[in-house]
Structure 1
Amino acid sequence: MTPILFYGVPAGCSFGSIVALEWLQIPYRLCRIDMLSEEIRSANYRRVNPVAETPSLLTSDGRLLSESMAILGHLAPHGVETGLAFAQGTAGFDRLNQMLAFLNTSLFGGFSPLWYAYEHELGDEAKAALQGFGAAQLEKAHADLAAMLGERPYLLGDKPTLADAYFYGIARWAEYHGVPDRASWPGLQGLFERLRDDPAVRFAEAIEKGEAAVSNGGFQGHVTLDEALGELRQAA
């Protein structure tokens, strides 16, 4: 079975998994899930992901995975030979997991109160409090990440890894919320700009926008949720 990534729009953190799949050059398909519609909360999608979130991955052997870190960990062995990931038991493997964990908790977590304030009807005082808290968390997360990056062109060295794919998918949210000003950390801004010009990132952006997208990887087209569920039933 060709894997299916269930990705969320608009602006889902599943973006990083699309970039990773493109970089890894393995066959995959996509299933588009509108996070602002009832589809993501439907009984059908909860068969894919019981907590009604994206991303989810239907693996080649018919299993379902959710959470970006689990999906990237599942895909990582395909990237060991190219340096996109590292063999288990090596220092690189530990560094990659450490970076992914930081991005998931500190960077993603900093945006969470901003998304909540954006998506919910709140009083002015409550909204301002959430936005202030999120902005402060993001300032710290970006400062810490800039210190980890140092003078390197990518998060873990001279070449991109799966951590950079995940970073871009989250870091771009600053454009939605107006904070933080990434230019305050030239190293991070440079990393963001390098990734923005990457063909896999441009492909993922076109996919999200529903535009014509040219894959340099193993993309084999979209399937509907019903089609994906049919394959899931057959694999059971």
Structure 2
Amino acid sequence: MELVLFYGVPAGCSFGSIVALEWLGKPYRLSRVEMMEHPWNPLYAKINPQFQTPALLLESGETLTESMAILKHLAARNASANLGAAGGSMQDDRLTEMLAYLNTDFFSAFSPLWVAYEMEDLDDAQKALLRTIGQKGVVKGCTYLNGLLADREWLLGGGQRSIADAYLSGIGRWIQYHQLFDLEQEYPHLACYLQKLANDPAVIFATAIEKGEEPAGSGAFKGHITLDALRSRLA
């Protein structure tokens, strides 16, 4: 019985959890959630009553929601993968600090942009205002991350990738998606870092998964499973 990650499409932040699972290398399954199709299967309330992704179904039948909790749980499953840090250490504190920043400040900067993109009843002036607000927040975040990556290979430094990098592989692509500015010109260190992530086999795998393809991946992925097929594990 494998872990099951419920991931949202299109362009969900759950992308980073797929990348982390590939880096982890332990057996897992995926369950696809089309976020724009409503209503969602009511059975999903047993996974997450807030009807959001990602969510992780454990072997015990317990579920975890929220990217930070899922990613830290995955990192703790295989210490030898070096995706996390020992609990109580300063390195773990720095990891939590970075995840919290990405999951709050940087993530929320895109919220006005998604509203402008998704709400069809807004007029052009309202959409323009939301894009202005969103761009201001994204610029602030990109400026910070670009400076951070000027002298380090990965977000936490030390030459070792972590679950924070996995998470940013998902939400970092939103920069180009919304076409706010020339990323390579304005933020070259961040652009180089994101390109390196885009070339990573796990990120290539997750991208193909989102597109509905059937990539090979690392071999840890054991296939998709539907929510209804998991009914007995949710009883």
One-letter amino acid of the counterpart of residue 194, structure 2: F
The alignment's TM-score, normalised by the length of structure 1, stands at 0.94
For the residues of structure 1 that align with 2:91 and 2:21, how far apart are their CA atoms?
20
One-letter amino acid of the counterpart of residue 144, structure 1: Y
Q: Which residue of 2 aligns with 1:139?
A: 139
For the residues of structure 2 that align with 1:187 and 1:217, how far apart are their CA atoms?
32
Report the count of equivalent residues. Answer: 232
Structure 2 residue matching 1:8: 3-state secondary structure: strand
Q: Which residue of 1 aligns with 2:124?
A: 124
How much does 1:175 deviate? 2.4
One-letter amino acid of the counterpart of residue 204, structure 2: R
One-letter amino acid of the counterpart of residue 108, structure 2: G
Q: Which residue of 2 aligns with 1:66?
A: 65
* Greater Cα offset, 174-183 or 26-35: 174-183
Q: Which residue of 2 aligns with 1:189?
A: 191
- The structure-2 alpha-carbon separation of the partners of 1:19 and 1:39, relative to structure 1 and needing over 3 Å to count, comes to farther
For the residues of structure 1 that align with 2:202 and 2:81, how far apart are their CA atoms?
16
> Do structure 1's residue 179 and structure 2's residue 180 form an aligned pair?
yes
Conserved? CA contact 2:46–2:234, under 8 Å: no
Q: Which residue of 2 aligns with 1:162?
A: 163
For the residues of structure 1 that align with 2:139 and 2:174, how far apart are their CA atoms?
14
How much does 1:7 deviate? 0.4
Q: Which residue of 2 aligns with 1:82?
A: 81
For the residues of structure 2 that align with 1:17 and 1:6, how far apart are their CA atoms?
10
Structure 2 residue matching 1:139: 3-state secondary structure: helix
Q: Which residue of 1 aligns with 2:17?
A: 17
The alignment's TM-score, normalised by the length of structure 2, stands at 0.94
For the residues of structure 2 that align with 1:36 and 1:230, how far apart are their CA atoms?
26
How much does 1:38 deviate? 1.7
How much does 1:180 deviate? 4.3
Conserved? CA contact 1:79–1:86, under 8 Å: no
* Greater Cα offset, 149-158 or 193-202: 149-158
For the residues of structure 2 that align with 1:180 and 1:58, how far apart are their CA atoms?
38
Structure 1 residue matching 2:33: 3-state secondary structure: strand
1:40-86 C-alpha deviation (Å, 9 max, x unpaired): 3x322222111111101101221111111111121121343232110
Q: Which residue of 2 aligns with 1:30?
A: 30
One-letter amino acid of the counterpart of residue 96, structure 1: L
Alignment gaps of 5+ in structure 1: none
Q: Which residue of 1 aligns with 2:42?
A: 43
For the residues of structure 2 that align with 1:6 and 1:229, how far apart are their CA atoms?
14
1:69-126 C-alpha deviation (Å, 9 max, x unpaired): 1111211213432321101011111111111111111211111110011111212221
- The structure-2 alpha-carbon separation of the partners of 1:141 and 1:167, relative to structure 1 and needing over 3 Å to count, comes to same
For the residues of structure 2 that align with 1:205 and 1:139, how far apart are their CA atoms?
25
RMSD: 1.3
For the residues of structure 2 that align with 1:180 and 1:160, how far apart are their CA atoms?
27
For the residues of structure 2 that align with 1:144 and 1:201, how far apart are their CA atoms?
23
Q: Which residue of 2 aligns with 1:214?
A: 216
For the residues of structure 2 that align with 1:225 and 1:61, how far apart are their CA atoms?
16
For the residues of structure 1 that align with 2:204 and 2:54, how far apart are their CA atoms?
19
Structure 2 residue matching 1:128: 3-state secondary structure: helix
Structure 2 residue matching 1:38: 3-state secondary structure: coil
